[in-house]
Each structure stands twice: as C-alpha cells, then as structure tokens.
Amino acid sequence: MQQARTQDVAASGRARRRRWLTRDRATALLMITPSVIAIAVFVYGFIGWTGYISLTKWIGIKADYTFVGLQNYGTIFNALRFQTDIRNTIVFTAFFLIGCLGLGLALALMIDSRVRGEAIFRSIYIFPMAISFIVTGVVWAWIFTPGKFPQDPTGLNLLFSKIGLGFLQSAWITDNRVLPGYILSGIKARIGVPMAMIPVIVAAVWQMSGFTMAMYLAGLRGIPEELREAARVDGASEWQVFQRITLPLLQPITLSAVIILGHISLKIFDLVLTMTGGGPGNATDVPGIFVYDITFNANKIAQGAAAAVVMLLLVAVLIVPYLIYNARTEVER
Amino acid sequence: MSATTLRRQAGRRPRVLLYTAMIVLAAFYLLPVFLLLITSLKSFDQVSLSRMWDLPTSLSLQSFDSAWNGGKGVIGLKGSFLNSIKLVVPATIISCMLGSLNGYVLSKWRFPGANALFTAILFGMFIPYQSVLIPLVQVLTRIGLYGSISGLVLVHVVYGIPITTLIFRNYYAGVPTELVEAGQIDGSDFFGIYRHILLPLSIPGFVVVAIWQFTSIWNEFLFGLIITNQPEIRPVTVALQNLSGSQYTQWNVQMAGALLVALPTLIVYIFLGRYFLRGLMAGSLKG
C-alpha cells in the first residue's frame, strides 16, 4: 500500500516533468548551456584557481604549487608598496565619488531646468564616456605636465600663467608630496593624499561625471512635476523643494551610482598607468598596477594572485549585496 | 507691473549665471579635445611645449602621418588599428548573437533557478579582470590561442556574456509573453518563435548591444596588453600606450595618435549616441 502510493507519486512526478521538459524547453536549456559553462569556467573556475595559486609558493616562470597558506597575503600587506596602493585606492575612490556625484548632480539639475540647447550640452558632458581611458590618460598627462614653472611652464601651468592665475601652478603629476603625510606606528605607508593623484582624479571625473549626470537626469525626469509644484503652492522655496523632495527621491540613483563608480575606481588601472605609471616613486600606484607588475614583470605569480584576490574581495563586498538586492526587487516587480 | 514680469526679471540674473556655469563646464569637457585638435594639426616646426595652447598658424597633417605610418623610431598605429578591427568585428557579432539567445531563454523560457543563474552570470561583468589573468594565460596557452587575435576574440566574447545577456533579457522582457504563446499555439518551435517573433522586434536591441560591445572592446586595454605578446597583433589601445610611453615620440605625434584611436568610437557616439546611452544605463542594472 505504502509502496504503491510512493510509486504513484513518482509516476505522476515523472509525468509532470515530462510535460514540463518539452522539446522546446530542452532546446532552450541547451542554447544557454555554452554561455553558462563559459561563465562557470572563465569567471568562477578562474577565480578559484587564482585563489588557489595565491596560497602557493609560485615565483618565477615555472609553476610551483607548494602550499604555503596565507603567507603571500602577509607578505603583500606588510609591503610598503601594497600599503601605499590601499591608501591610494581609498583616496582615489573618495575624491572620485565626491567629484562624480557632485558634478553629475549639478549638471543634471542644470540640464533639467529647461535650458536652451539642452541636447548639445548633454552630448558634450557625456562624450568622454565613449573614449578609451588610454586616450584620456595621454591627453590629460600632457595637460598636467608641469614644465619648469614658474619661468618655463607647460600644460595647465602655462594656461594658468596666461590668464593671470599663475599662483595656481603646481608640480601636478610629478609632485611626490603626500599631504598631510602622517606616520602611524605599524603602517609603513604615510597617511594622506598623494598630490600626484589629483590630476588622475580630475581626468577620471572628466570621463565619468557625464555618466553620473545621465543617471541623475533619468531620475529627475522620473519625479512627477506635480509633486514639486504642490510643494511650491504650499509655499516651499526652491531650496526646500530640492532638499525635501528632489534629493530624497534621488537616493536610489545615488546608491546605484556609488556602486557602479565605486567598483570602477577599485579596479582603476589603465588611466593611472598612462598618466603617471604609478609614480613618482610609487606615490600613485594602485592595486590594479601592482597585480600586473608583480605578476607579469616581477614574475612573483603567487603574490600577484594574492593581490588580485584582495581586489576581487573589495569589489565583491560592494557588488554582491547590490546584485542580490536587484534580483529580489525584480521578483517583487 | 504684473507679478509674472516681476518674477521673470528676478529670474533673469540666475538664468545668466546658469548659462555661464554650463558654458564654463562645457569648456572643461572640451578642453582636451581642443588641445588634441590644435596639437595634431600643427606641423613639426610649429610644435613646442611653450606654445602648446596657441592655434596652429597653418594646417598640417604631418603628425597624423607619423602616428599612422610611423617614422624615426616610432611604430605607426596603422597595423594595430587593423588588428583592433579584426578583433572588434567578429567579437561584436558573436556577442550579439549569444546575448540575444541568452536573453531570449532567460526572459521567455524561464526555468527553476533562472533568476539565480542570471545573477550569477551578472557577477562576471563586475569582477576585476586581474583576478582571472593567470589562469586565462595558462588556459589560452594550453589551447593554442595565447598571443593571437582569435584568443582575444574569445576572451571578449566570454566576458561580454553578462552585459549582452542583461541588455537583451531586459529588452525581451518588454515583448508581451502572449506573442510567444500565440506562436506556440500556431505550432512554432523554439527557433520558429525566435526567428519570426523576437528577431524582427530586436533591431534596436542589437544596435544597443553592438554599439556597447564595439565601444568597450575597442577601448579595452588590459586583455590586449596581457594576451598579445608580440607587437604585430597588438590592439590599438596597447599600441597607443606604447607610443606615448616612448621617449622617441614627439608629443604632437602622441596627440595625433590619441585622436586616431578615439575617432571610431567618437563617430559612433556622435551618430548613434542615443543607443550608446541606453547601453550605458543598462550597465547600471536598472534597465
């Protein structure tokens, strides 16, 4: 009896499955399989393999998979250069975010206030997004090449001296100061803002602020005008309307922007490489350059892998909650 | 004086300020383009760093000639430009087809766990590629694709799967499921529905994805740097970086080179900017 019922259930289960797994559904699954395998191998498999390499002794051309535990992580976190990289990532991310969000929001508000030539302004602000970081780097590096200022300036310094702003001249990408440059016991890297990073941040903001503007603009256009109009009728000033209505409604956009821009800045590589090469000294070095240099120039493969895993973890902390949140809200929709 | 004219007068001063701010900011965004243009159009005898902001007194294409064909100690960009085309065209076409199929399956043939799978695929577009480089080089070497353009095509197609799938999935989500059901009732199978119902509606989706992939693969640097070991197969961004890193290259040649590298994607942006922007917004997930 018991057995018969189990068989019944199994049979009906099989029947249901047969009905569900039609020829078309099988084809659908078959069609997506190559992509799933490719991602499984090239993303997850490779990340796993990099993680494994980071636990080995591999130095030099020939692979050496002797297990050494977390030793490589200890080595890089103790190294002045990697500590500098972490500091630079924090500095870069902070200023890059502030710059992009501030400028992006300002641009979006200006474009949204019924200006003439809106389309032209918008196109001008966004076009850097279409350009390679390498091109951006080449041009901005020349703009920020200081020359022998103040007597013989070049680039921006020259422009400054021409328009009577000579006092703003600076050593830009050749400036090796770290300000304020605090020294903390136990930390080899000096705490502060590496001055040579500022030109790189300017170039990065130049490239990405238009994108931020586009995001905010989409958000602003989604706010019903009646909402703001109602507040104005109630006697709210423009500033109050902005502060109490517009800004809170833009919060989800800000969150998205922080995550997208944040993960770009954690991965920044080509722009820094082209503008400063990580210099002067290692003043503007970032983890992206570190991994490349240590792995492919110095052949310290396992250490490079460890630094790459650190990069991945930083990005994952930002991205994974966001992806899960996105998937959840989509189901609700 | 009526209340509206009063308000209009009060509003005039901020209006002037607004336009001033917008024009100053536009100048900031256009400054590098201005410098690129005036520098690369100068002849060699006009080029000096102390006069870098001066307009050219006569127009010359010498810099472009040097950047394109090469010269004393300078490898021109001509060859790598061609490499980039050989890379971008097949990679973009394959990416579009894969993305479209994946998007079709994930929006119209949903299966248990489809959402989780989709999220897992999406993660692939955010990872720092530094974290896959060592295995990538090992595997490409093993299968004989390391140091070849085909290898680069493969890499760009694979790491393009998340974004192309995302854009097409969101695009097809807008196509009513009733259309698919009607197709099923008419006896169309998986491919029949795709070909006769989805594909004819997909042109804008294909344009968005093609532009997106074209732009990002053309502009990509890290894979190009790692996977191409000889200068002959370098993509154009790597060649430009080399050109600018070389002490033998005059800076006007670097600028002309930068302009040449930027040109294809800029042209696409100028003519199809609307579609470029859509791809851009899709990348922030809120399709």
List CB contacts of B207: < 8 A, sequence separation 6 or more: B272, B275
**Please, which pLDDT band fits residue B229 given cuts at 50, 70 and 90?**
confident
The token duo for B48 is 């000096």
H or E stretch covering B285: none
Q: Exposed/middle/buried for A78, CB within 10 Å: 0-12, 13-18, 19+?
A: exposed
Whether the predicted pLDDT of A203 surpasses 70: yes
pLDDT per position as a tens digit, B24-67 = 999 999 999 999 999 999 888 888 888 888 898 888 898 899 89
Q: What is the pTM of this model?
A: 0.90
Residue spans of beta strands (DSSP E) within A99-253: 147-148, 152-153, 178-182, 191-194
**Please, which pLDDT band fits residue A332 given cuts at 50, 70 and 90?**
low
Task: Specify the pLDDT at position B174.
Answer: 87
Contacts of A291 in chain B (CB under 8 A): 130, 133
Least confident of A164-168, A245-249, B236-240, B258-262: A164-168
List CB contacts of B25: < 8 A, sequence separation 6 or more: A103, A107, A125
Contacts of A142 in chain B (CB under 8 A): 35, 52, 251, 254-255
On whether the CB atoms of residues A266 and A312 are closer than 8 A, the answer is no
On whether the CB atoms of residues B266 and B30 are closer than 8 A, the answer is no
Q: Give chain A's mean pLDDT.
A: 89
The token duo for A245 is 């209505």
Task: Specify the pLDDT at position B2.
Answer: 46
* Contact yes or no for B159 and A42 at CB 8 A: yes
Q: How many percent of chain A have pLDDT more than 90?
A: 62
Task: Specify the pLDDT at position A49.
Answer: 97
On whether the CB atoms of residues A220 and A254 are closer than 8 A, the answer is no
pLDDT per position as a tens digit, A89-125 = 999 999 999 999 999 999 999 998 888 899 999 999 9
Task: Specify the pLDDT at position A56.
Answer: 95
Task: Specify the pLDDT at position B287.
Answer: 36
The token duo for B46 is 């006009």
Report d(CA A214, CA B280) in Å as an integer.
9
Task: Specify the pLDDT at position A5.
Answer: 53
On whether the CB atoms of residues A207 and A309 are closer than 8 A, the answer is no
More confident residue, B278 or A54: A54
Rg (CA), chain A: 27
The bridge status of strand B74-75 relative to strand A178-182 is: unpaired
Which one-letter amino acid corresponds to residue A298? A
B63, B131, B190, B217: which to substitute to probe chain A, counting the most A Cβ within 10 Å? B131
The closest of A174, A167, A169 to A196, measured between CA atoms, is A174
Please tell me which of the candidates A113, A126, A301 has its beta carbon nearest to residue B134. A301
Least confident of A85-94, B183-192, B203-212: B183-192
Cβ–Cβ contact B55 with A under 8 A: no
Please tell me which of the candidates A50, A134, A139 has its beta carbon nearest to residue B36. A139
Which one-letter amino acid corresponds to residue B31? L
Task: Specify the pLDDT at position B148.
Answer: 93
Least confident of A32-36, A147-151, A282-286: A147-151
Whether the predicted pLDDT of B1 surpasses 50: no
* Contact yes or no for B135 and A50 at CB 8 A: yes
* Contact yes or no for A143 and B35 at CB 8 A: yes
Report d(CA B225, CA B229) in Å as an integer.
8
**Please, which pLDDT band fits residue B3 given cuts at 50, 70 and 90?**
very low
pLDDT per position as a tens digit, B65-113 = 989 998 777 888 999 999 999 999 999 999 999 999 999 999 999 888 8
Residue spans of beta strands (DSSP E) within B20-174: 70-71, 74-75
Instruction: Give how far Cα A116 sits from Cα of A112, A119, A281, Å.
Output: 11, 8, 48
On whether the CB atoms of residues A214 and B280 are closer than 8 A, the answer is yes
Count of CB contacts below 8 A, A vs B? 254
pLDDT per position as a tens digit, A36-89 = 999 999 999 999 999 999 999 999 988 899 999 999 999 999 999 999 999 999
Task: Specify the pLDDT at position B265.
Answer: 94
Task: Specify the pLDDT at position A152.
Answer: 84
Report d(CA B74, CA B65) in Å as an integer.
11
The token duo for B285 is 């997930």
Q: Nearest 10 degrees: CA dihedral of B203, B209, B214, B219?
A: 160
**Please, which pLDDT band fits residue B286 given cuts at 50, 70 and 90?**
very low
Cβ–Cβ contact B116 with A under 8 A: yes
Residue of A nearest to B108 (CA): A28
3-state SS of A4-22 is: HHHHHHHHHHHHHHHHHCC
The token duo for B158 is 């694979």
